[in-house]
Amino acid sequence: MELIVSEGNPQCLKVLAALGLTGVQCPVQHVHHEETVVPFLSRPALPALLLPNGQHLFSANAICQYLFEVNGQDSSDLCRQWLEWEATTLQPALLQALHKAVLQGKGSEMSQILQGPLNYLDRSLSKGNTTYIIGEAVSVADVVLWAALYPVLSELSVALDEHKSVKSWFDRIAAIQSCKSAAQKVMQGKGLQGMKSYLQRQPAPQSSQCSDTQPCNN
């Protein structure tokens, strides 16, 4: 088994944090983000996990789920629901926000783009009234959501003033040693600018739901 990661890519932050938290033994290889690792994909896709049976996993969320399962923690329905929300709702908004902030210099638009997803997360956290997203123990959902939000929330203190539950949850995960050191490895303390070359290689986000001229209503 081998985990292959690159710098400046929040998807890699997910898997390194999960690896540290679960304590699964697996060598990590650092490569350039444009390196083709998964043989059947036309676009470079990192992180990747080479499984013991020779197959490649190319989805960070599936890799995290696998590491937690190997460590004896299966995903519950609720956990899967958060991972699906992250992949289908949060990721498109994050990509759009990061694209604007890092490549177009419009950092001020980030909080508006992320308003909807952050409101949803904040409501769920305050309603659930639990220490972590699902109950009282760290789950794969915490790691995946924290890592996805890490680059923006480390910069965007304004958005967190309005989202108190997100802030206390985010700080709680960020204080975990494995998460701290994963963030240091992937982001190298460079902030959003450290993601520039990674973002330049991502397909431009589709803004079909929210056009540039009209404000988004959700």
Partner 1 sequence: MALRELSSLEKYLGLKKPNKYSTQGDKKVPVLQNNTGPPLVGLVTVACHLVKEAKRPELLGDSAESRAVVQQWLEYRVTKLNNCTKDDIKTILKDLNMYLQDKVYLAENQFTLADILMYYGIQPLIVDLAIQEKEQYVNVTRWFDHIQHYPGIRRHLSPVVVLRNRIYTSRHH
- Residues near partner 1 (CB under 8 A): 39-43, 51-53, 55, 57-59, 61-63, 65-66, 69-70, 75, 77, 80-81, 83-85, 87-88, 91, 206, 208-209, 218
SS3 label, residue 32 = coil
Provide, rounded to whole angstroms, the least separation between the CB of residue 95 and partner 1.
Answer: 11
> Which distant-in-sequence residues (6+ apart) come within 8 Å of 181 by Cβ?
20
Provide, rounded to whole angstroms, the least separation between the CB of residue 55 and partner 1.
Answer: 6
Residue number with CB closer to partner 1 (26 or 62): 62
Q: Which helix (H) or strand (E) holds 67?
A: helix 60-70
Residue number with CB closer to partner 1 (17 or 160): 17
Residue number with CB closer to partner 1 (28 or 87): 87
Residue number with CB closer to partner 1 (63 or 121): 63
Provide, rounded to whole angstroms, the least separation between the CB of residue 101 and partner 1.
Answer: 22
Residue number with CB closer to partner 1 (84 or 171): 84
CA 77, distance to chain mean position in Å, is 20
With contact defined as beta carbons under 8 Å apart, do 205 and 92 qualify? yes
Provide, rounded to whole angstroms, the least separation between the CB of residue 148 and partner 1.
Answer: 13
Beta bridge partners of 4: 29, 48
Per-residue DSSP letter, 132: S
Show the tokens assigned to 68: 């937690």
Provide, rounded to whole angstroms, the least separation between the CB of residue 158 and partner 1.
Answer: 26
Q: How many CB atoms lie within 10 A of CB 49?
A: 25
- CA-nearest of 52, 50, 56, 11 to 29 is 50
